[in-house]
């Protein structure tokens, strides 16, 4: 099925009728690719059929899943994970308890985070909060499901990160599928819902991983999303973007650039009022 | 068809294309204005080296763009490792970590196809030497959208699979060796 720009706008407008399905500010070209792909696989040939199928919750779940682009692998960009493990996770604010992935998809960033926390023997009191618009994605992440097609790449990245062959001891086979080991996934909790409309109500978020998500937003939504995340982050906490993500200049000014190559930013710690300065 | 009123050039290449692209960038006029987007197959997990290698001889600035970056004159944009590069209707770059296409990320088809849709008859597409069929469908999309197409002559290719796959799908406006492609580009106005 060929979808034009006006068709995409009509479909995304119709999706608004359902909770947590506001995709109006996603990039039009991204929506065109994903909706066309889903329509082709579902053998939907006309826009009207697509619109009619929106009334079906099962189809809407398929759509939400389709609009979550999988992480490409575990430990994508090994240098970043090394920096997190050795430098930034040990330096999290004392009160930090939550490590938030606002738009997790296939779970691989969550698993990578759980694994480096484990290997670095960092506090197991950290909760990894993986949020996804898709209930199916949440179920998969809570079950620790790993995309088997990424196995070789995961293994190779792990070797580059850790310089040893221990990756496979963290993988278990359950019912013919690969899962991350239960002791690693026990600290991963899922929150279903789009982070733009539902955020965790907590003030102890010390790290936000938001890698390669803003790629699929238009500039306005990307700015809005980053504003929301910066506000949700506790002072002294870290925000990590994808290597090529766009960071608007006005927001970047509010943050400390900790590592420009790996795109790690820190929200400044609020300074105590310096009363001495006002004594005359 | 003979068109010289281009707004963008897109180049796809795979095995053997580094030396051809290097040669083209080294030989282009220093005042060459049209933005050039390069979608070259590369190792997914080697982030550095390619842009630096191409910059060594290029008279134009060569960069790996960030997402949402506007295409500018006098600049060569190289698709970053492990990202697809799409060209948007507003003349910006959209990067993506979506599924590999033809085992490739970046995929040449994705870059060429999106540019064809955005720039239509103002686009010049060039497909170079390579070892798989990625790029063939993208070049056909350029042709279908009335863009101008140049395919490297298979006789001049290190590996001719990619040009030959393209030639199965459509008839390009030009079939050229690298030296003739360079002359063609330098003869463009502006």
The C-alpha atoms of residue B139 and residue A235 are separated, in whole angstroms, by 50
Contact (Cβ atoms closer than 8 angstroms) between residue A167 and residue A158? yes
Examine residue B153 and state whether it is found in any structural domain, yes or no.
Answer: yes
What 8-state DSSP symbol labels residue A124?
A: T
Instruction: Give the pLDDT confidence score for residue A273 in this predicted structure.
Output: 56
Q: What is the pLDDT of residues B82-99, one digit of tens each?
A: 999 999 999 999 999 999
Q: What is the pLDDT of residues B101-116, one digit of tens each?
A: 999 999 999 999 999 9
Of all residues in chain A, the one with the smallest CA distance to B86 is A29
Looking at residues A167-176, what average pLDDT do you find? 90
Strands (DSSP E) contained in A194-247 are: 205-210, 238-241
The C-alpha atoms of residue A47 and residue A69 are separated, in whole angstroms, by 23
Q: What is the pLDDT of residues A45-100, one digit of tens each?
A: 999 999 999 999 999 999 999 999 998 899 999 999 999 999 999 999 999 999 99
B41 included as an active-site residue: yes
Mean pLDDT, chain A, integer: 93
For A207: left if phi > 0, alpha if psi spans -120 to 50, otherwise beta; the answer is beta
Cβ-Cβ contacts under 8 Å, B94 against chain A: 27, 29-30, 215
Of all residues in chain A, the one with the smallest CA distance to B79 is A244
Q: What is the pLDDT of residues A236-258, one digit of tens each?
A: 999 999 999 999 999 999 999 99
Examine residue B180 and state whether it is found in any structural domain, yes or no.
Answer: yes
pLDDT at A271 over 70: no
Examine residue B26 and state whether it is found in any structural domain, yes or no.
Answer: yes
**Residue B123 lies in domain:** 8-186
Place of tokens 């779940």: A61
Examine residue B151 and state whether it is found in any structural domain, yes or no.
Answer: yes
pLDDT at A277 over 60: no
Enter the ipTM: 0.91
**Count of domains observed in chain B:** 1
- Closest Cα in chain A, distance from residue B68 (Å): 7
Pairing of strands A264-266, A256-259: antiparallel
* Token pair recorded at residue A221: 């939504």
B104 included as an active-site residue: no
Examine residue B1 and state whether it is found in any structural domain, yes or no.
Answer: no
pLDDT band at A135 (very low <50, low <70, confident <90, very high): very high
Instruction: Give the pLDDT confidence score for residue B81 in this predicted structure.
Output: 96
Cβ-Cβ contacts under 8 Å, A33 against chain B: 98
Closest C-alpha among A205, A236, A235, A210 to residue A97: A205
Examine residue B97 and state whether it is found in any structural domain, yes or no.
Answer: yes
Query: Domains in chain A, please, with CATH?
Result: 5-66 (no CATH), 78-266 (3.40.50.150)
- Closest Cα in chain B, distance from residue A242 (Å): 10
Distances in Å between the Cα of A239 and the Cα atoms of A184, A208, B118 are: 23, 5, 33
pLDDT at A8 over 90: yes
- The string of DSSP codes covering B57-100 is H-SSEEE-PPTTPBP-TTEEEEPPTT-EEEE-TTSBEEEE-PPP
pTM for the full predicted model: 0.93
Of all residues in chain A, the one with the smallest CA distance to B84 is A215
Examine residue B128 and state whether it is found in any structural domain, yes or no.
Answer: yes
Examine residue B3 and state whether it is found in any structural domain, yes or no.
Answer: no
Q: Is A242 on the interface with B (CB under 8 A)?
A: yes
- Annotated catalytic residue: which of B84, B107, B114, B134? B134
pLDDT at A33 over 50: yes
CATH code, domain carrying B68: 3.40.50.180
- Closest Cα in chain B, distance from residue A95 (Å): 34
């Amino acid at each position: 099925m060929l979808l034009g720009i006006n068709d995409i706008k009509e479909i995304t407008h119709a999706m608004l009728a359902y909770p947590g399905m506001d995709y109006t500010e996603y990039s039009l070209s991204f929506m065109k690719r994903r909706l066309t792909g889903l329509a082709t696989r579902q053998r939907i040939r006309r826009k009207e059929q697509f619109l009619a199928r929106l009334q079906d919750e099962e189809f809407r779940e398929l759509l939400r899943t389709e609009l979550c682009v999988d992480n490409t692998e575990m430990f994508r960009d090994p240098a970043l994970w090394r920096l997190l493990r050795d430098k930034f996770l040990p330096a999290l604010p004392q009160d930090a308890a939550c490590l938030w992935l606002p738009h997790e998809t296939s779970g691989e960033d969550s698993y990578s985070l759980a694994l480096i926390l484990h290997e670095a023997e960092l506090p197991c009191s950290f909760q990894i909060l993986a949020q996804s618009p898709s209930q199916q994605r949440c179920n998969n992440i809570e079950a620790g499901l790993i995309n088997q097609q990424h196995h070789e790449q995961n293994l190779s990245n792990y070797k580059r990160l850790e310089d040893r062959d221990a990756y496979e001891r963290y993988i278990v086979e359950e019912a013919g599928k690969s899962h991350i080991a239960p002791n690693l996934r026990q600290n991963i909790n899922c929150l279903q819902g789009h982070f733009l409309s539902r955020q965790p109500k907590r003030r102890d978020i010390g790290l936000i991983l938001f890698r390669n998500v803003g790629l699929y937003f238009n500039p306005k939504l990307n700015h809005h999303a980053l504003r929301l995340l910066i506000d949700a982050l506790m002072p002294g906490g870290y925000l990590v973007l994808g290597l090529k993500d766009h960071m608007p200049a006005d927001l970047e000014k509010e943050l400390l650039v900790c590592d420009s190559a790996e795109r790690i930013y820190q929200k400044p710690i609020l300074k105590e009022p310096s009363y001495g300065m006002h004594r005359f | 068809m003979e068109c010289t009123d281009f707004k963008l050039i897109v180049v796809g290449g795979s095995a053997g294309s580094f030396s051809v692209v290097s040669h083209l960038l080294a030989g282009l006029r220093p005042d060459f204005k049209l933005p050039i987007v390069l979608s070259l197959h590369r190792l997914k997990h080697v982030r550095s080296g390619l842009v630096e290698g191409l910059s060594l001889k290029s008279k134009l600035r060569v960069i790996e763009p960030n997402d949402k970056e506007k295409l500018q004159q006098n600049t060569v944009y190289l698709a970053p490792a492990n990202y697809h590069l799409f060209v948007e209707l507003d003349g910006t770059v959209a990067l993506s970590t979506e599924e590999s296409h033809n085992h490739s990320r970046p995929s040449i088809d994705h870059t060429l196809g999106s540019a064809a849709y955005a720039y239509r008859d103002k686009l010049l597409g060039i497909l170079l030497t390579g070892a798989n069929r990625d790029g063939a469908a993208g070049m056909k999309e350029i042709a279908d959208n009335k863009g101008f197409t140049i395919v490297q002559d298979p006789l001049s290719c290190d590996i001719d699979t990619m040009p030959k796959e393209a030639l199965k799908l459509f008839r390009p406006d030009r079939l050229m060796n690298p030296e003739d492609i360079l002359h063609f580009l330098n003869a463009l106005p502006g």
